[in-house]
Structure 1
């Protein structure tokens, strides 16, 4: 049911074997070893860069129409393989099978959208001050070889955001996907080659993350870096890229505030937030993380959301009845325990959950915490797990100040039926994406990205394609 793990270098798929450094990939629900993941050697990393550099001129010169056709074929093949690849995702990452299928459908739709948008990388003509003797053409050209780094929480969608945009723009890519959830990336890269992508256009490597990133970013042929992950790692990669003046896109940590105003549609807010918070066990960069609920609704909200949390069914994601799967690894379980302990020390009240469930697998109870202490870690640091902290507020100014009280600025949400509150949240939340009465802020045709310590640049939408294009001015004299 799982897949054979491998590297992909210059069109060759290279599995683990005798004498090669590798590491086990495990199922977080059971601890069982799924397969051995090969690590790329230094020579193979250099070969991947060289292959991408060789392939770039031909791929860049391929017509946008033909590049689009290959990507659309890949989307069609992946759509045929949804059930199999969704099982791979659930086995290695833990999310319920329905969520895995939903992520894959989103990824496929993103490939399809980028395939079409790649045909529209238009330049423009700038009117000349000397008509007839001089004209100005603004051209959009692929930036070159790209190195892309993706995390474990969305093992299909995040690689597709980078691969699809880069290839649609005419770039070649070296993808370093997560060593903890590599199977989906292997399947996606295999699908691209099955669709006719030329060798060298998409490489896939694994290894010790710091060693791989430092080697790839230092390569002079690599001209663009795209990273999704934590703020500290992103800052380190930016420093490496700066040595070669290389373009970067950084989608870094989030800590999304939620404001539930007094005039919210309470039933809708409760249903939306209860379901959305525990999606992927809270391991979502745009997951609602810090809940600020008007004092008139606060106690009722805490009681109702806690009842929802207690009722959630935890289990192996392959079981269709499972509503929340395990955390991805032991580090996340330990982090949740630390957040709960810090909250208790700060005087918070554990209303539901709060501890690991069972001794087999990485399960942590859906947790609701009532607190009136903005300095506890849950209101300062990204939790990235199934803990829902709630704090009351009394005035709009207080709510905005609390919501903007961290350096992160990826996503933010507000629930209200009033135009004034809607305007306040839309314009005063210091984030890259705002959802008003919805958590559905990610679509193939919309930009995805943050501000502040959540990074810069966008993926998705036409902005996501722009990240892989550079501008050239041609001034032509008669």
Structure 2
């Protein structure tokens, strides 16, 4: 499919709700539009998914056959890399090179979980017990079964459209689930291509069902739908709480990958040049629109001024621009709504006495661009310190010793990620245990592997994605006893 074909396809899709514009965040121009499918589209999609699950057209396939199809999906993702890269780059405003770096992981996600299709076995036990009915001794054979959850709703965000779709679809398909997927209303374009890829690879019709619409219409209807057995959501903590409430009707299971306010601890003995570069990229990449971005940097006093100066230098060096602008490494914020949110935090901080070392303003050009911003003299009670901004804004605070640094890092409602920079390996591994977060990186940032689990502590989410934990999230365990 060409980009033009996708733009025409989405415009023609039926719906019953509001017409939603799709905006290029680098230019503020409308690139296409679509009609909100709303609750009616969700009802139809859930019915199709339920029918395929009950028929066994997908979950009933031998694991090796599902694996072959998933390998084909991976091959097709690579074959369609050019249009997928250009669509995500256009739709999310990210530099093309960023999209190109993400896509290989999407294909590998399907290959990795294809391997799990034949490995979802349970366990067997021999049990000797006194039965409650006869009071006599009995020998039993017992075993566990791993079974797909059923119909799952997959809701993913705008900050990595094709990546987030694959991260949820690959384990759900490997487990044998049928699904209804809803991309963010801001970034639906690459999902159209992925839908075609699934069909071409041999996924039976109705096993994966795409629904387009707003979060408060289609997303809310999917979260509350009595025909859905589980919801997997990536997005803000605020919306995650709404999903939990909506899911309570039929007590559907919920997996949440939510917000973060990730701390970065830089000690006096750190390789400061590496720490500054990594910390700067760890918050300014994708204009800070990443759940694991290190938005709170804590620096031991001996190198505090050096780190602040270095972060400001990086903020002033990194070039901002749209996908087609040569040399651009940072794109715009996703929307006017997000721009207003980010600048609201910064402007409020200025009024409260925060020192803006650099940035703190919108670029004087078209597009939702905010200059990478470094803030000091920040009070820990301030809203911009406590809440996730999801923009290229970092606060930098000093600390004296390890205990104070840990206390500052853990002083948050979030717990998604954390980073430590120190040459002292004992300290590094000691802090890995003390920091309250699901992923800790030592002398590096923004690293992950899809074979290892990912998820948050505290209000950063429920459950884990990736690795064995990722497929377990889409499986239920059944225990069977048989008297011999």
TM-score band, normalised by the shorter chain?
over 0.9
Aligned equivalent of 2:3: 2
Q: State the TM-score, normalizing by the size of structure 2.
A: 0.93
Describe the shift of the 1:304–1:43 C-alpha distance in structure 2 as closer, same or farther (beyond 3 A).
closer
Aligned residues: 474
Using the TM superposition, give the Cα deviation of residue 345 of structure 1 relative to its aligned residue in structure 2, in angstroms: 2.7
Aligned equivalent of 1:355: 361
SS in 2 for 1:136: strand
Aligned equivalent of 2:266: 260
Distance 2:442 2:89 in 1: 30
SS in 1 for 2:153: strand
Aligned equivalent of 2:134: none
Aligned equivalent of 1:271: 277
Aligned equivalent of 1:29: 26
Aligned equivalent of 1:58: 57
SS in 2 for 1:138: strand
- Aligned match of 1:337 in 339, 343, 348? 343
- Aligned match of 2:323 in 313, 317, 323? 317
Matched, 1:192 2:193: no
Using the TM superposition, give the Cα deviation of residue 4 of structure 1 relative to its aligned residue in structure 2, in angstroms: 4.3
1:106-125 map, 5 Å: 106-125=105-124
Describe the shift of the 1:6–1:173 C-alpha distance in structure 2 as closer, same or farther (beyond 3 A).
farther
> Are the equivalent residues in 2 in contact too, given 1:281–1:386 (CA < 8 A)?
yes
1:402-417 map, 5 Å: 402-417=408-423
> Are the equivalent residues in 1 in contact too, given 2:158–2:186 (CA < 8 A)?
yes
Aligned equivalent of 1:160: 166
Matched, 1:385 2:386: no
> Are the equivalent residues in 1 in contact too, given 2:36–2:218 (CA < 8 A)?
no
| RMSD value, Cα | 2.1
> Are the equivalent residues in 2 in contact too, given 1:5–1:16 (CA < 8 A)?
no
Describe the shift of the 1:334–1:397 C-alpha distance in structure 2 as closer, same or farther (beyond 3 A).
same
1:410-449 map, 5 Å: 410-449=416-455
Which stretch shows the higher mean deviation, 123-132 or 372-381? Answer: 123-132
The unaligned stretches of length 5 or more in structure 2 are 130-136
Using the TM superposition, give the Cα deviation of residue 65 of structure 1 relative to its aligned residue in structure 2, in angstroms: 0.9
Which stretch shows the higher mean deviation, 290-299 or 266-275? Answer: 266-275
Using the TM superposition, give the Cα deviation of residue 373 of structure 1 relative to its aligned residue in structure 2, in angstroms: 2.3
Aligned equivalent of 2:35: 38
Distance 2:325 2:38 in 1: 38
Distance 2:189 2:4 in 1: 6
Q: State the TM-score, normalizing by the size of structure 1.
A: 0.95
Describe the shift of the 1:340–1:246 C-alpha distance in structure 2 as closer, same or farther (beyond 3 A).
same
> Are the equivalent residues in 2 in contact too, given 1:16–1:36 (CA < 8 A)?
no
Describe the shift of the 1:14–1:469 C-alpha distance in structure 2 as closer, same or farther (beyond 3 A).
farther
> Are the equivalent residues in 2 in contact too, given 1:149–1:177 (CA < 8 A)?
yes
SS in 2 for 1:430: coil
Distance 1:215 1:425 in 2: 42
> Are the equivalent residues in 2 in contact too, given 1:52–1:172 (CA < 8 A)?
yes
Describe the shift of the 1:19–1:342 C-alpha distance in structure 2 as closer, same or farther (beyond 3 A).
closer
SS in 1 for 2:22: strand
1:166-245 map, 5 Å: 166-245=172-251
Distance 2:364 2:268 in 1: 39
Aligned equivalent of 2:372: 366
Using the TM superposition, give the Cα deviation of residue 19 of structure 1 relative to its aligned residue in structure 2, in angstroms: 8.1
Distance 1:88 1:420 in 2: 45
Distance 1:118 1:309 in 2: 45
Using the TM superposition, give the Cα deviation of residue 17 of structure 1 relative to its aligned residue in structure 2, in angstroms: 6.2
Describe the shift of the 1:127–1:439 C-alpha distance in structure 2 as closer, same or farther (beyond 3 A).
farther
Aligned equivalent of 1:280: 286
Using the TM superposition, give the Cα deviation of residue 141 of structure 1 relative to its aligned residue in structure 2, in angstroms: 0.5
Distance 2:365 2:255 in 1: 40
Aligned equivalent of 1:71: 70
Distance 1:369 1:66 in 2: 54
Using the TM superposition, give the Cα deviation of residue 28 of structure 1 relative to its aligned residue in structure 2, in angstroms: 0.4
Distance 2:265 2:237 in 1: 24
> Are the equivalent residues in 1 in contact too, given 2:16–2:38 (CA < 8 A)?
no
> Are the equivalent residues in 2 in contact too, given 1:73–1:195 (CA < 8 A)?
yes
The unaligned stretches of length 5 or more in structure 1 are none
Distance 1:477 1:310 in 2: 73
Distance 2:363 2:259 in 1: 27
Aligned equivalent of 1:84: 83
**CA offsets 1:35-72 (integer angstroms, 9 cap, x no match):** 12232154332111111011112211111111111111
Using the TM superposition, give the Cα deviation of residue 30 of structure 1 relative to its aligned residue in structure 2, in angstroms: 0.7
> Are the equivalent residues in 1 in contact too, given 2:162–2:191 (CA < 8 A)?
yes
> Are the equivalent residues in 2 in contact too, given 1:258–1:412 (CA < 8 A)?
yes
Using the TM superposition, give the Cα deviation of residue 320 of structure 1 relative to its aligned residue in structure 2, in angstroms: 4.0
Distance 1:22 1:442 in 2: 38
